[in-house]
């Protein structure tokens, strides 16, 4: 189940990034819902909120370490389904953004809600996974 979740998320992430790259102009918002949601293709050379720009090798190494830790954690036998899904979401998101960094030197972002930095599908799954992980850690025995 976990490999299917991870592969599906990576596929969806890479497909949407490919389409964004082919269909959207760089750094030019395309309004979908006025004053709320745009599609804006950006090349993020940093981390969240664009911090630490031009540190590609650093981000690749940190992401590889995170992937190894998550993959090893998924081997534990006594974890709940929610915990496994949380780790799978974070793993898939990390791999999706790692693919961009390795092949392009930046992460392709395109979802723009105007009140938040532009992000992508991989970022969304990392966030959802982190929320599930936090919920599980705080409220599940």
Task: List the catalytic residues.
Answer: 109, 123
Around 134, how many Cα atoms within 13 Å sit in the side-chain half-sphere?
6
Strands (E), 7-132: 30-33, 37-44, 107-112
Please tell me the distance from the alpha carbon of residue 20 to that of residue 22, in angstroms, as a whole number. Answer: 5
Residue 27 DSSP SS3: coil
How far apart, in whole angstroms, are the C-alpha atoms of residue 5 and residue 24? 28
- Residue 63 CA to residue 96 CA, distance in Å, equals 10
Cα 5 to Cα 70: distance, rounded to the nearest angstrom: 14
């Amino acid at each position: 189940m976990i490999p299917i979740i991870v592969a599906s998320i990576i596929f969806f992430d890479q497909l949407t990034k490919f389409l964004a790259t082919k269909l959207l102009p760089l750094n030019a918002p395309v309004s979908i819902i006025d004053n709320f949601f745009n599609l804006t293709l950006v090349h993020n050379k940093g981390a969240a909120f664009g911090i630490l720009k031009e540190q590609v090798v650093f981000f690749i190494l940190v992401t590889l370490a995170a992937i190894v830790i998550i993959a090893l954690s998924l081997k534990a036998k006594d974890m709940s389904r929610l915990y496994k899904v949380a780790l799978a979401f974070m793993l898939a998101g990390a791999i999706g953004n790692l693919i961009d960094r390795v092949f392009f030197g930046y992460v392709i972002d395109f979802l723009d809600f105007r009140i938040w930095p532009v992000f992508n599908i991989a970022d969304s799954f990392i966030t959802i996974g982190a929320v599930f992980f936090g919920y599980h850690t705080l409220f599940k025995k």
